[in-house]
A and B are shown apart, each in its own frame.
Chain A
Amino acid sequence: MNILELKDISMIYGQVRALSNVCLSVGQGEWLAIMGPSGSGKTTMMNIIGCMDKPSSGSVLLDGEELSKLTPSELTAIRRDKIGLIFQQFHLITYLTALENVMVAQYYHSMTDEKEALLALERVGLADRAKHLPSQLSGGEQQRVCIARALINYPRLILADEPTGNLDETNERIVLNILRGLHDAGTTIIVVTHDPEVAFEADRTVYLEHGRVADVVKKIEGTAAACASEAQDLVYAAKA
């Protein structure tokens, strides 16, 4: 069963074709990475999958539901119920504690439950930081609060845009391990990234180039370094 199907989608802004006839299926519980140079259409694809934009043509099926037929408020509801979003920028509210930042996400879901919010923080190993303000947390801890916020509604799909882009290696590893845990528990994960190390974690990597799928690579057995270097070569090839 596929959780997501992109069928021949194109996105056209004036003279620019941000995406051209992209087809992609993502299986339930799969971990997919989307890579490609700047301007290759990664963000456009993320916005479409995240129900923040509609393609100019083609269809998107999420959990069997055709998104193009939905109204903006129905799209918002789908995203709220099924998708957890993680971004490179943390978007935390500076004057609220970690716990409150997770709780305000619940306003969006029209429920507030401190126990649930604390549980979400526990899932990312931050229960002891619940009362800290973002300025009192490290970058890695702030990103983990964002992940906790994204987990509040137990989404079936996690959509992450450069989730480790602002983090050092140690924190990158911590965040990837959290995503690994979610994946092991059956959550589908789609990560948009420039970083081959991040893409290496995925079951499958889709390379975009000029709005088209240029290549698809399944996870290869071997060392992380070898795979990362292959991924890097592909990115360079896409840029050339």
Chain B
Amino acid sequence: MGASIGIKGVSKVFAGHDEKGGVVALDNINADIRSGEFVSILGTSGCGKSTLLRIIAGLDKATSGTIFCGGETVINPDPSRSLVFQEHTLFPWMTVRDNIKFALKSTRQYKEKRHEIAEWLSLADLESFADSYPHQLSGGMRQRASLVRTLAVASDVVLLDEPLGALDNFTRMTLQDELVRLWRERRSTMVMVTHDVDEAIYLSQRVILMSPRPGRVKNILDIPMSYPRDRASGDFMGFRVNILKQLEFAKTMQEDYTI
């Protein structure tokens, strides 16, 4: 089971190049993410969602405020809080199997977890590509491999920065199913940044809606639907309209979604 994350009064100001002062990227962000929860951070470009994720990862420092992970203050990056990016980060000179093996070795978990490699390959449906190099895989397969490599070492918290953004729509929907399956299987805490409203609703238990300039939390929404979810259900549509309205993209009031 993953660790909880506390975001307490986090602000981030990027220093300006002139005397006008800096740009406020994040302004007093507060949120609590429960252990094993799947949460999405949703907002338009410039709302600071990726910056917030990098601060949770320990890759950037907040100007003020604190991030707690499993009760401890986050200071630096740590393998227990790994990031998955839009571009896969597999080592091109290693096969899929060696990539996972290497990740375990680099975090000194190889002896204890080597028997899990086959399981991860099977979970990612990559058994027959275990000895292929990343360039020999399709985009979707590469991202699956990248994901299980991260999960193999980071069982506590997985931070996803638009992980499916580079994929075509259909591959993306298939991988959303994979992601839900892997999360339900392992119950890591997952925090995903996305600008795709449907993706946020389809995957998350809660959605943190952010507004831009300066980046602020606009609302935190519960998505109390059971998994696996149906993208075409009325409830799904209801959440969709609600979120689009809050992001000020829905132009009309729509109360009835039945046809």
The chain B residue sitting closest to A101, CB to CB, is B106
Q: Which of B19-27, B85-93, B201-209 contacts A (4 or more CB under 8 A)?
A: B85-93
User: Are B77 and A53 interface neighbours, CB within 8 A?
Assistant: no
Interface residues of A in 194-215 (CB under 8 A from B): none
19 A-B residue pairings within 8 Å (CB atoms): A47-B135, A52-B92, A52-B93, A53-B133, A53-B136, A72-B95, A76-B95, A76-B98, A79-B93, A85-B92, A91-B89, A91-B92, A94-B59, A95-B79, A96-B106, A104-B106, A107-B102, A108-B94, A135-B77
Does A89 touch B at the CB level, under 8 Å?
Answer: yes
Q: Contact size class for A?
A: 20 to 34
Q: Which residues of A contact B102 (CB under 8 A)?
A: 104, 107-108
Task: Give the docked Cα–Cα distance between A89 and B58 (Å).
Answer: 21
User: Are B77 and A87 interface neighbours, CB within 8 A?
Assistant: no
User: Are A104 and B92 interface neighbours, CB within 8 A?
Assistant: no
User: Are A93 and B106 interface neighbours, CB within 8 A?
Assistant: yes
Complex partner residue of A135 from B60, B92, B131, B133, CB under 8 angstroms? B60
Does B83 touch A at the CB level, under 8 Å?
Answer: yes
Interface of B is mostly: loop
Interface residues of A in 49-69 (CB under 8 A from B): 50, 52-53
- Given A52-B133, A53-B136, A108-B102, answer yes or no on A133-B93 (Cβ-Cβ < 8 Å): no
B-binding residues in A (CB < 8 A): 43, 47, 50, 52-53, 72, 76, 79, 85, 87, 89, 91, 93-96, 104, 107-108, 133, 135
Q: Which residues of A contact B83 (CB under 8 A)?
A: 94
A-binding residues in B (CB < 8 A): 57-60, 76-79, 82-83, 87, 89, 91-95, 98, 102, 105-106, 131, 133, 135-136
Q: Which residues of A contact B82 (CB under 8 A)?
A: 95
The chain A residue sitting closest to B136, CB to CB, is A53
Distance from A108 Cβ to chain B, minimum over Cβ atoms (Å): 7
User: Are A50 and B93 interface neighbours, CB within 8 A?
Assistant: yes
User: Are B135 and A53 interface neighbours, CB within 8 A?
Assistant: yes
4 closest Cβ contacts across the A-B interface?
Answer: A95-B77, A104-B106, A107-B105, A52-B133
User: Are B92 and A87 interface neighbours, CB within 8 A?
Assistant: yes
Distance from A139 Cβ to chain B, minimum over Cβ atoms (Å): 15
Task: Give the docked Cα–Cα distance between A104 and B99 (Å).
Answer: 12
Task: Give the docked Cα–Cα distance between A135 and B98 (Å).
Answer: 25
- Given A95-B76, A95-B77, A107-B105, answer yes or no on A89-B87 (Cβ-Cβ < 8 Å): yes
Complex partner residue of B76 from A76, A104, A133, CB under 8 angstroms? A133
Q: Which residues of B contact A52 (CB under 8 A)?
A: 92-93, 133, 135
- Given A107-B106, A135-B59, answer yes or no on A47-B133 (Cβ-Cβ < 8 Å): yes
